Amino acid sequence: MNPADKDRIAASLAKIMAMMCVRNTGLETLHAGTVPVTQTGDYADVFVLDAAGRRIPWAEVSHLDDDRMRDLMREIVNRLYTFHVSCDDPGFLQRADRWMTVSKKWDEPELDRKFLGVIGYGPGEAEK
């Protein structure tokens, strides 16, 4: 397979998996809340007052606790697993094609070199 085809297929697969496996999960619950008003544009003027009376800058507030993060990750892993085990089913592929129409409107993905660094992998290491 030539590099351009490989990149095109990988980009399409990344977008369809994000659309079907990550969107409409618990992430939507986090997104659905009220967005605070900021006059500075960077939320430096926004604070959360908690039940203990602490005034916490918006940038330092955790927006989900460990239980919610665990639930979200389980949901996403289960969807990714389901996607992979269903990807050879013709009915599933038909539905995935419909979702692909929506995801085609998204920006093209870019190689995440920071991610590769975090996992200790650099391009070309597979050949070593």
For every residue of 6-36, which 3-state class applies, written as one string? HHHHHHHHHHHHHHHHHCCCHHHHHHCCCCC
Summarize pLDDT for 106-120 with one digit per residue, the tens: 999 999 999 999 999
Question: Has this prediction a pTM greater than 0.95?
Answer: no
Of 76, 74, 72, whose CA–CA distance to 63 is shortest?
A: 72
pLDDT tens, 59-114? 999 888 999 999 999 999 999 999 999 999 999 999 998 888 888 899 999 999 99
Hey, what are 106's tokens? 């998204």
User: In the block, which residue shows the tokens 């006059």?
Assistant: 39
Vertex 22, ends 16 and 25: CA angle to 5°?
135
